Each structure stands twice: as C-alpha cells, then as structure tokens.
Amino acid sequence: MKTMFRALFSAFFQVVAKELQGAFRHGSDILNPVWFFIIVVTLFPLGIGTDPALLERIAPGIIWVAALLAALLSFERLFKDDFIDGSLEQLMLSPFPLAWLVSAKVFAHWLLTGLPLLLVSPLLATFLSLDIDTYIALFLTLLIGTPILSLFGAIGVALTVGLRKGGILLSLIMLPLSIPILIFSTMAIDAASYGQSYIGLLALLGAMLITAIILAPFAIAASLRVSVS
C-alpha cells in the first residue's frame, strides 16, 4: 500500500518535472502569455481614457477577461506537442491512472501560466490604480480562479487536441463554462473595493475549485481517450 502511494506520487512529480523542464527550454512559451496579459490590460486605459476612478471601477473586469484570454492562448500547448510526438499515448499506456497523470500535467501547466499571472498582477494593479485592499482581493481570486481555468481549459483541449483547427473551437467550448469564475471573481473584487466582506464569494470559488479538482481529471482523461483513438 505504502509503496503504491509512493509510486503514485513519484509518477506525479516526474510528470510535473518533465513538463517544467520542457517549458524552461523554450522560455518564450512561458513569457508570451504573460506579455499578452500585460498588453491587453494596457490597451484598456489607452482605449477608454485614464481617469483613475473609471479605471478602478472597471479594473476587475479587465484583469479577469485578460486573464481568461491569456489562459486560452496558453492551452494549446498543454497536450498538443505530446499528442503530435506520441508521448500522450505513452502516458495512456502507463500503469498509472490517466486521470492522475493528467492532473499532474494540469498542475504543471498552472505553474507555468497561472502563477506568472499572479506574479505580474501587482504591476497591473498599479496601472489600473487599485488600492491595496482591492488588490489583495484580486490576488486571492486569481489564486483560486486560475487553477479552475486550467482544469476547465484542459477538458476543452483534451476534446479538441486531435482536430486540426481546434483553437477557435476551444474558446467556444471553454469561455461559456468559465463565466461563473469571472462573475464570482469580479464580484469579490468589487465588494473589496467598497470595503465589504467578500469571504463568501471566495468560498464559492474555492468550492468550484475543489469540485473541479475532483471531477475534471476524469473528464480530461475520458476526452483524451476520445481524441487519441
């Protein structure tokens, strides 16, 4: 029993390590979505004016929509290369449950795309003149929300990875499903900017995250089995 757990966890970390190693060899893969995120957020003050009150009012929406789009851009990479070079099939043939290995891949993907967004978020908060309480709320929603995005996105990618023009289809599938995350996150940030308590909304996001962690890997694994066949 104990050796089984050890084997499971070592497999998990091996997959994560391999993903990170691969990503760091192509550094731009990590940086590009982050640049995209920053550029999209920069476009809004340029487009609608620099009034700090206005910017602060719409900042949560801007940042979250930009985060959604940036996440969307980065998903392609999640399974595509592995699908092309056949390592996805190797993953399926391994004795470990596919859902488990897939969650390792999603975790690695979040480390490479969600975490950088968190790291640059103070910069964006300064751009959009958020005060510190609002920023803390923004940080917490990004911290809980981006893993959910990664999990949802992984389902979409797993369904479309075998298709030639999967990119636009992926956004058609994934964006409607991520609407609740957008709503809860921006509501929490709004509440924080009015000085209200937003712990309930964070709890809802957390509940979504836990549900997604439990259920999404099975959906991803089932979808991969459809795509690779």
Partner 1 sequence: MWKWLHPYAKPEKSYQLAGKLLPWFVVLTVITFIIGLLWGLLFAPADYQQGDSFRIIYIHVPAAMMAMGAYSSMAIAAFVALVWQIRLAEMTVAATAPIGAVFTFIALFTGAAWGKPMWGAWWVWDARLTSELILLFVYLGIIALYNAFSDKVLAGRAASILTLVGVINLPVIHYSVVWWNTLHQGPTISKFGKPSMAVEMLWPLLIMIAAFATLLGALILMRFRNEILTRESHRPWVRQLALNNVKITGKN
Interface residue list for partner 1 (CB under 8 A): 155, 159-160, 162-163, 165-166, 169, 172-173, 175-177, 179-180, 183-184, 187, 190, 208, 211, 215, 219, 222-223, 226-227, 229
Return the number of the residue (113 or 185) whose C-beta is nearest partner 1.
Answer: 185
DSSP structure class, residue 112: H
Return the number of the residue (22 or 162) whose C-beta is nearest partner 1.
Answer: 162
Helix orientation angle between 2-25 and 98-127, rounded to the nearest 10 degrees: 50
Rounded CA separation 37/121 (Å): 10
Considering the complex, what minimum distance in angstroms separates the CB of residue 195 from partner 1? 15
Rounded CA separation 48/46 (Å): 6
Considering the complex, what minimum distance in angstroms separates the CB of residue 166 from partner 1? 8
Determine if residue 86 is left, alpha or beta; phi over 0 gives left, psi from -120 to 50 gives alpha, anything else beta.
left
Considering the complex, what minimum distance in angstroms separates the CB of residue 181 from partner 1? 9
Q: What angle do CA 165, 227, 220 make, to 5 degrees?
A: 105
Return the number of the residue (123 or 215) whose C-beta is nearest partner 1.
Answer: 215
Considering the complex, what minimum distance in angstroms separates the CB of residue 194 from partner 1? 11
Return the number of the residue (119 or 215) whose C-beta is nearest partner 1.
Answer: 215
Return the number of the residue (136 or 187) whose C-beta is nearest partner 1.
Answer: 187
**Which is nearest to 17 in space by CA: 128, 88, 145, 108?**
108
Return the number of the residue (136 or 173) whose C-beta is nearest partner 1.
Answer: 173
Considering the complex, what minimum distance in angstroms separates the CB of residue 88 from partner 1? 15
Rounded CA separation 192/187 (Å): 9
Considering the complex, what minimum distance in angstroms separates the CB of residue 44 from partner 1? 19
Considering the complex, what minimum distance in angstroms separates the CB of residue 150 from partner 1? 15
What b-and-e string marks burial along 52-74, b requiring 16 or more CB atoms within 10 Å of the CB? eeebbeebbebbbbbbbbbbbbb
Return the number of the residue (42 or 227) whose C-beta is nearest partner 1.
Answer: 227
DSSP structure class, residue 26: T
Helix (H, G, I), strand (E, B) or coil at 29: helix
